[in-house]
Copies of this chain bind each other. A is one copy, B any other.
Amino acid sequence: MAACCGAVRGFLFEYDTPRIVLIRSRKVGLINRAVQLAILAYVIGWVFLWEKGYQETDSVVSSVTTKVKGVTMTNTSTLGSRIWDVADYVIPPQEKNAVFVMTNMIFTLNQSQSHCPELPDDNTECNNSSCVPGYVSTHSNGIQTGACIPYNSSIKTCEVFAWCPVEDDYHIPNPAFLQGAENFTILVKNNIWYPKFNFSKRNILPTFSSSYLKNCIYDAQTDPFCPIFRLGKIVEAAGQNFQEMAVEGGVMGLQINWDCNLDRAASHCVPKYSFRRLDNKDSANTISPGYNFRFAKYYKDSSGIETRTLIKAYGIRLDIIVFGEAGKFDVIPTMINIGSGLALFGVATVLCDIVVLYCMKKRYFYREKKYKYVEDYELGTSET
């Protein structure tokens, strides 16, 4: 009991601190301080100021809505004069984080379920007996009946049961059908949230006036925060040619970067827009270059037979990619970095010890001072 008490008292009332050799040497002193300074500069300058090591970070959670505006007119022999508005060229009418604007298309009017010659290619051209009934491949438009019938005056192809007539997509309209899409505008409404910090903000900044918002168009230089984008400008900003891209379509990324330092005022947390083409422009080494898909409008004639207009829609899909990290002071990362920094200070001592004990002339003298040798096997001790 008394022994225990003594141990506790010893534990509580004792303080142990390492014994230090204090060497008064210009050379070693300066090396030591220089190394310490370097470590301090690294810890404070790089870890804390540059990389903001004292901050807890969080990734953005975001919601995006878009609204396209603009009309354009086309004049073709098949369709005559025709006006195109939002309901016509945005497919599907609403999407999350994305919007598709049709810029080019191949129409196949009045398709119905029946028999007709397949589109000619290496596999479908035939001479009387090479068609296999029931054959269907990945690239087929329908199922072969086995007959070989004339596609036009010179070519015969296998007959298929399909939506007829089959689509002929060998010739893509160039220039693009809806050239005018260059002037369409896209309003992007983006609401972000950092759950860890319960911080939310919109890309429509509170400093904007209503009249500014009605008329502004985004421009990296003059209107960097306007949320309305001209489609042509987006494509140009990504270093692409709009009219070229409009022909085969493509995928554009509108990137909104919300990197925010929440230790500063919320008004400093603003979106930064950038633009990138997400698909590969080179048509070499790629399959189905650009971006297109097929959809159909279905009609029923008075006798109840279903016909459809098949549209192969080429166009620009705009993916709105929201990313970013917010940082805010937090105790944990600060402590981790301070701890690591302190540990690095040990490196200064190790380095200087190496210099002092191995490289200097008087190394034996210093070693004697630093070390006390205790022999285990023989009881003689070589005390300094």
Contacts and interface: CB of A to CB of B under 8 A. Distances in A.
B344 A338 contact: yes
Top 5 nearest A-B pairs (CB, nearest first) are A339-B340, A25-B376, A93-B295, A339-B343, A87-B296
Contacts of A13: 24-26, 29-30
Given A16-B23, A298-B299, A366-B374, 14 more contacts: A17-B21, A17-B23, A18-B20, A82-B113, A83-B142, A83-B161, A87-B295, A95-B96, A187-B287, A187-B288, A191-B251, A195-B323, A210-B284, A339-B342
Contacts of A86: 293-294
A278 interface: yes
A242 B64 CA distance: 21
Contacts of A82: 113
Contacts of A187: 287-288
A98 interface: yes
Contacts of A353: 17
A187 to B, nearest CB: 7
Nearest to A195: B323
B95 A93 contact: no
Contact of A63 (B253, B323, B374): B253
Residue with the highest number of chain B CB atoms closer than 10 Å, among A138, A163, A338: A138
Contact of A376 (B24, B90, B95): B24
Contacts of A163: 83, 85
A140 interface: yes
A332 B297 CA distance: 57
Contact of A143 (B19, B83, B210, B340): B83
Interface in A327-349: 331-332, 335-344, 346-347, 349
B285 A206 contact: yes
Contacts of A143: 71, 73, 83
A341 B343 CA distance: 9
A54 interface: no
Nearest to A184: B138
B335 A17 contact: no
A19 B42 CA distance: 28
Contacts of A71: 136, 140-143, 162
A321 B97 CA distance: 13
Given A17-B21, A28-B15, A187-B287, A204 B280 contact: yes
A291 interface: yes
B285 A61 contact: no
A34 to B, nearest CB: 10
A370 B365 CA distance: 20
Contacts of A284: 210
B94 A94 contact: no
Contacts of A33: 11-12
Contacts of A294: 85-87, 93
A11 to B, nearest CB: 7
A373 interface: yes
A234 to B, nearest CB: 15
A261 to B, nearest CB: 17
Interface in A315-331: 317, 319, 321, 323, 331
16 contacts: A13-B30, A15-B23, A17-B20, A19-B371, A20-B372, A27-B376, A42-B335, A63-B251, A63-B321, A65-B279, A70-B138, A83-B162, A213-B285, A213-B286, A213-B287, A299-B300
